[in-house]
């Protein structure tokens, strides 16, 4: 039985994945580095620093230049998310959050982002979640299991009784490494390792999800 659900934030509850992409592209353009949507797929769910490393590849930058670029990208991103409202919740998100709450299931956010707290507040769902694990919570980012294990601990639910909902390959890997159930949102090439793969949260109910998980081959 599942007693806790851990939601990834970017790309699961809201489409901030697009803003991350636009902010990185602005930085890459300014640095004269080639970067496109295809390259951006590899950045889904991974930390800010790891993302920059993949973008600059083997171009040589000093640590202070790297720090400055990380801060600059974040400035662009924070500007872009300043206007987020509850309307930016993806289809199906609020219905599932409400249903889980009614059923007494504990809810956490498990996001690599250091901006997760702000996004959660702007989306108007701060009262719907019991815990937030974010980019400040642990040292090892996804695909390490640490962030989700931290979230489960905050909820007081054993990992085996937790379900993670993720849109990123690194997030599914982290969930499985944590010994949790995993639902992947998006194409199989990206989240195919999850127990259940769905296109999005639209129309998803807790009863339906439990039925699909019980049929999943473990
Ligand atoms: C993840 C996003 O949730 O957070 C990544 O999927 C992002 O794209 C990462 O790089 C870190 O976010 P932030 O806000 O701390 O730069
Ligand atoms: Mg995500």
CA distance 197 to 136: 29
Average pLDDT over residues 90-105: 98
Which letter does DSSP use for residue 127 in this model?
A: G
Known catalytic membership, residue 134: no
Give me ligand 1 centre to Cα 80, in Å.
13
- Backbone φ/ψ region at 21: left (φ over 0), alpha (ψ -120 to 50), beta: alpha
- How much is the pLDDT for 65? 97
The active-site residue out of 10, 88, 134, 167 is: 10
User: Atom 16 in ligand 1: which residue has the minimum CA distance?
Assistant: 48
The chain-wide mean pLDDT, for the chain, equals: 96
- How much is the pLDDT for 217? 67
Q: Is 132 or 45 the better-scoring residue by pLDDT?
A: 132
Any residues with Cβ below 6 Å from ligand 1, and which?
9-11, 17, 20, 43-45, 47-48, 51, 74, 111-115, 135
The active-site residue out of 8, 88, 134, 167 is: 8
Closest ligand 1 atom to the C-alpha of 70?
16
ipTM computed for the complex: 0.98
- How much is the pLDDT for 136? 97
Token pair of 6, please?
Answer: 């851990």
User: Atom 14 in ligand 1: which residue has the minimum CA distance?
Assistant: 113
> Percent of the chain beyond pLDDT 90?
95
Average pLDDT over residues 182-205: 97
pLDDT-based confidence at residue 218 (cuts at 50, 70, 90): low
CA distance 217 to 122: 38
> Percent of the chain beyond pLDDT 70?
99
CB 196 within 8 A of CB 166: no
Angle subtended at Cα 168 by Cα 22 and Cα 181, rounded to the nearest 5 degrees:
155
CA distance 44 to 181: 20
Is 131's pLDDT higher than 70?
Answer: yes
Residues within 5 Å of ion ligand 2, judged at the Cβ atom:
8, 10-11, 45, 167-168
Q: Is 194 or 217 the better-scoring residue by pLDDT?
A: 194
Average pLDDT over residues 15-36: 95
User: Atom 2 in ligand 1: which residue has the minimum CA distance?
Assistant: 45
Known catalytic membership, residue 8: yes
- How much is the pLDDT for 17? 87
Closest ligand 1 atom to the C-alpha of 9?
3
């Amino acid at each position: 039985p599942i007693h806790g659900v851990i939601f990834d934030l970017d790309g699961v509850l809201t489409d901030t994945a697009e803003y991350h992409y636009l902010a990185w592209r602005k930085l890459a353009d300014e640095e004269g580095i080639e970067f496109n949507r295809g390259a951006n797929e590899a950045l889904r769910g991974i930390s800010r620093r790891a993302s920059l490393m993949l973008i600059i590849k083997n171009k040589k930058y000093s640590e202070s230049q790297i720090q400055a670029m990380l801060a600059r990208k974040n400035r662009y991103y924070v500007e872009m998310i300043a206007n987020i409202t509850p309307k930016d919740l993806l289809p199906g998100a609020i219905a599932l959050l409400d249903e889980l709450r009614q059923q007494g299931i504990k809810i956490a956010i498990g996001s690599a982002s250091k901006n997760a707290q702000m996004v959660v507040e702007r989306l108007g769902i701060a009262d719907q979640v019991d815990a937030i694990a974010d980019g400040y919570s642990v040292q090892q980012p996804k695909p390490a299991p640490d962030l989700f294990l931290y979230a489960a601990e905050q909820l007081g639910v054993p990992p085996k009784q937790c379900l993670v909902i993720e849109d990123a390959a690194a997030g599914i890997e982290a969930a499985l490494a944590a010994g949790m159930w995993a639902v992947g949102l998006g194409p199989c090439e990206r989240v195919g390792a999850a127990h259940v793969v769905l296109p999005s949260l639209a129309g998803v109910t807790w009863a339906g999800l439990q039925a699909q998980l019980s049929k999943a081959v473990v």
